[in-house]
């Protein structure tokens, strides 16, 4: 178990651990993995609907050191990016940044899945709110 | 705190071994000069020390390179020798890989193997054992105490069943011999595997006890050569290692009662302290039928490898997939039916001769801090606190 210093740093000082309200329309939540596989990641993004920029990102992870480091790094990268830029983050970028060994590549894949799931959740909420907003507007029009 | 993996060599053992590397370097099989005689005498003394520890006759001790070889010799040796009599072997799912993989090999050669399940407490059911026996059964091999969860199997009862049916009974007794009383006659064991390095002796030496009377067990050798060890295991004897093995056995026999009592108290103290400081801990396997120096606990909602990272100055091991070469969680813990998630969260503690209360305090406090920190960042802990039933949740497991 020879981890890179970056993995150890993220494990010892994880960035952005925490939770944001799930029902906030500007918050997207991704929950991926399964307890019996030994990894579960919850990743949340808070997006400014005006600009499409991710203002805040939080994570909670059940998993090994590289799973924790991958999700911690993901939250660092997400902040300040637009939703579209966030979708462009690849698991291979995480592997390279953390120097993950081959047996731990699935941790980076899970982090990419978590990002995509969080953004998808945000987009779903946005379309739902805009649709219901449109409905509310109609009768008075 | 990983004394189940291996133990340091006791300084008294090292001292006994040293002359046999230098001045007393003879080959125990050299019959014509004093160097050989001296080595042979040392080996025979050690053989008696090992035999005395398990209530055997020295002639029933076959020296091997360790317990893996002993297990192979017992199973393959019986399988080949008694092939005419039958082709069925009974073992259990929680056995050491040295047993499981040897049985798997025999299955490829046309033998039939029954792998008994274990109950939640880690023990086999004697009724299931009886039901598995057929007229083709030639061997029952069930471990004395498990290497992960320390659970002790009902060896005497299994021995009685085997004797009644006229079936040979082998036990991998590596974790138990030297730690608790183990007598081959009381337990009606026909073969037993033991290892020096699990009882404060050197690595690379072990033994197979092979009964000579009632019944006389015959084994086909798996290593052919000069006919050493009554033809059952050829190869020049590792004299210094064997001397160390004997000395280690003697020390264990003398100190066993006090040592096991001390470790039991220390283990119970560790268990109590962890339970006082943390909630949602699950003990894997029976506490009643357990080695006094073993504890195996799952720290729910925390993954084992990340837990080990947080206590990296402490040697313990985990059943988590991430800590194993196979990337599979512990098959022993899975066999208890606890669920893979708890297997991923498990830590095995093995106390030993030099474990102290200070060490136990240190480990318990450090673990408490790390578990608390990891639970704060665990989505499972958060969901459980919100009242979500994790077992009924649908997880996205695609590709993992």
Q: CA nearest A18 in B: which residue? A: B377
Placement of tokens 């993950």 in the chain? A100
Q: Is A64 a catalytic site residue?
A: no
Name the class of domain B11-252.
alpha beta
Asked whether residue A134 carries a pLDDT value surpassing 90, the answer given is no
Domain boundaries, chain B: 11-252, 256-383
Give the distance from residue B279's alpha carbon to the nearest chain A alpha carbon, in angstroms.
17
Q: CA nearest B397 in A: which residue? A: A33
Please judge whether B329 and A32 are an interchain contact, meaning their C-beta atoms are less than 8 angstroms apart: no
Please judge whether B396 and A63 are an interchain contact, meaning their C-beta atoms are less than 8 angstroms apart: no
Report yes or no on A136 lying in a domain. Answer: no
**Percentage of the residues of chain A whose pLDDT score is greater than 90:** 82
Say which of B301, B306, B340 has its CB closest to residue A68: B306
Say which of A32, A41, A63 has its CB closest to residue B306: A63
- Chain A residues whose C-beta is within 8 A of a chain B C-beta are 1, 3, 8, 11, 14, 17, 19, 31-42, 59-65, 67-68, 103, 106, 109-110, 113, 117
Catalytic hit among A8, A37, A88, A128: A37
Interface test with chain A among B371, B390, B396, B399, by most A beta carbons within 10 Å: B396
- Residue A1 confidence (pLDDT): 54
What CATH number does the domain containing A38 carry? 3.90.1010.10
Higher per-residue pLDDT: B240 or A128: B240
Residues of B with catalytic roles: 322
User: What mean pLDDT, rounded, does chain B reach?
Assistant: 94
What ipTM goes with this model?
0.87
Asked whether residue B82 carries a pLDDT value surpassing 90, the answer given is yes
Say which of B303, B390, B400 has its CB closest to residue A64: B303
Please judge whether A38 and B340 are an interchain contact, meaning their C-beta atoms are less than 8 angstroms apart: yes
Give the distance from residue B25's alpha carbon to the nearest chain A alpha carbon, in angstroms.
40
What pLDDT digit, counting tens, does each position of B126-135 carry?
Answer: 999 999 999 9
Report yes or no on A28 lying in a domain. Answer: yes
Please judge whether B309 and A1 are an interchain contact, meaning their C-beta atoms are less than 8 angstroms apart: yes
Please judge whether B306 and A64 are an interchain contact, meaning their C-beta atoms are less than 8 angstroms apart: yes
Report yes or no on A99 lying in a domain. Answer: yes
- Residue B320 confidence (pLDDT): 79
Instruction: Please give the CATH topology (third level) of the domain spanning B256-383.
Output: 3.90.1150
Please judge whether B396 and A31 are an interchain contact, meaning their C-beta atoms are less than 8 angstroms apart: yes
Report yes or no on A140 lying in a domain. Answer: no
What pLDDT digit, counting tens, does each position of B12-29 carry?
Answer: 999 999 999 999 998 999
Side-chain-side CA neighbours of B372 within 13 Å: the count stands at 9
- Residue B318 confidence (pLDDT): 85
Please judge whether A1 and B378 are an interchain contact, meaning their C-beta atoms are less than 8 angstroms apart: no
Ranges A38-47, A131-140, B53-62, B256-265: which has the least confidence:
A131-140
Confidence of residue B391 (pLDDT cuts 50, 70, 90): confident
Q: How many inter-chain contacts (A to B, CB under 8 Å) are there?
A: 95
Higher per-residue pLDDT: B129 or A103: B129
Q: Which chain A residues have a beta carbon less than 8 Å from that of B333?
A: none
Residue A97, domain extent: 5-130
If one counts the domains in chain A, the total is 1
Q: CB-based contact (8 Å) between B314 and chain A?
A: no
**Phi, psi angle pair for B282, to nearest 5°:** -125, 125
Predicted TM-score (pTM) of the model is 0.91
SS3 for chain B is CECCCCCCCCHHHHHHHHHHCCCCCCCCCCCCCHHHHHHHHHHHHHHHHHHHHHCCCHHHEEEECCHHHHHHHHHHHHHHHCCCCCCEEEEECCCCHHHHHHHHHHHHCCCEEEEECCCCCCCCCHHHHHHHCCCCEEEEECCCECCCCCEECCHHHHHHHHHHHCCEEEEECCCCECCECCCCCCCCCCEEEEEHHHCCCCCCCEEEEECCCCCCCCCCCCCCCCCCHHHCCCCCCCHHHHHHHHHHHHHHHHHHHHHHHHHHHHHHHHHHHHHHHCCCEEECCCCCCECCCEEEEEECCCCHHHHHHHCCCCCCEECCHHHCCCCCCCHHHHHCCCCHHHHHCEEEEECCCCCCHHHHHHHHHHHHHHHHHHHHCCHHHHHHHCCCCHHHCCCECCCC
- Residue B339 confidence (pLDDT): 78
- Residue B393 confidence (pLDDT): 82
């Amino acid at each position: 178990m020879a981890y890179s210093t970056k993995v150890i740093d993220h494990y010892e000082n994880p960035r952005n651990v925490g939770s944001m309200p799930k029902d906030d329309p500007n918050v997207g939540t991704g929950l991926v993995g399964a307890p019996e596989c030994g990894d579960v990641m919850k990743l949340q993004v808070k997006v400014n609907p005006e600009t499409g920029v991710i203002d805040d990102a939080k994570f909670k992870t059940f998993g090994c050191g590289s799973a924790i480091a991958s999700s911690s790094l993901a939250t660092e990268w997400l902040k300040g990016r637009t939703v579209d830029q966030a979708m462009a983050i690849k698991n291979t970028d995480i592997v390279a940044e953390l120097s993950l060994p081959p047996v731990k590549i699935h941790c980076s894949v899970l982090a990419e899945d978590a990002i995509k799931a969080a953004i998808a959740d945000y987009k779903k909420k946005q379309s739902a709110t805009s649709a219901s907003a449109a409905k509310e507007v109609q009768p008075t029009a | 705190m990983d004394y189940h993996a291996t133990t340091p060599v006791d300084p008294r053992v090292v001292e006994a071994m040293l002359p046999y590397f230098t001045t007393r370097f003879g080959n125990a099989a050299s019959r014509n000069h004093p160097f050989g005689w001296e080595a042979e005498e040392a080996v025979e003394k050690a053989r008696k020390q090992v035999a005395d520890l398990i209530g055997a006759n020295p002639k029933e001790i076959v020296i091997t390179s360790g317990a893996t070889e002993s297990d192979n010799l017992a199973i393959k040796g019986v399988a080949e020798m008694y092939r005419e009599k039958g082709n069925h072997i009974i073992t259990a799912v929680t056995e050491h890989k040295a047993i499981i993989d040897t049985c798997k090999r025999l299955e490829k050669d046309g033998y039939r193997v029954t792998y008994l399940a274990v109950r939640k407490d880690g023990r086999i059911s004697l009724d299931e054992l009886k039901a598995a026996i057929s007229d083709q059964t030639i061997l029952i091999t069930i471990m004395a105490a498990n290497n992960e969860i320390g659970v002790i199997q009902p060896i005497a009862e299994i021995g009685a069943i085997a004797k009644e049916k006229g079936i040979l009974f082998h036990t991998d007794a590596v974790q138990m011999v030297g730690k608790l009383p183990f007598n081959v006659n009381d337990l009606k064991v026909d073969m037993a595997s033991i290892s020096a390095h699990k009882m404060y002796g050197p690595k690379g030496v072990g033994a197979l006890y092979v009964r000579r009377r009632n019944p006389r067990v015959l084994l086909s050798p798996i290593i052919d050569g000069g006919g050493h060890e009554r033809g059952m295991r050829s190869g020049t004897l590792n004299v210094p290692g064997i001397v160390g093995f004997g000395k280690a056995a003697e020390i264990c026999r003398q100190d066993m009662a006090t040592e096991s009592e001390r470790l039991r108290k220390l283990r119970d103290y560790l268990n109590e302290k962890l339970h006082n400081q943390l909630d949602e801990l699950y003990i894997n396997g029976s506490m009643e039928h357990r080695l006094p120096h073993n504890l195996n606990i799952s720290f729910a909602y925390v993954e084992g490898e990340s837990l080990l990272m947080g206590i990296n100055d402490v040697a313990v091991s985990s059943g988590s997939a991430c800590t194993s070469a196979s990337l599979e969680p512990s098959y022993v813990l899975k066999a208890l039916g606890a669920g893979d998630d708890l297997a991923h969260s498990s830590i095995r503690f093995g106390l030993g001769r030099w474990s102290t209360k200070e060490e136990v305090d240190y480990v318990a406090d450090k673990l408490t801090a790390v578990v608390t920190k990891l639970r704060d960042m665990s989505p499972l802990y958060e969901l459980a606190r919100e009242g979500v039933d994790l077992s009924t949740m649908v997880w996205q497991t695609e590709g993992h």
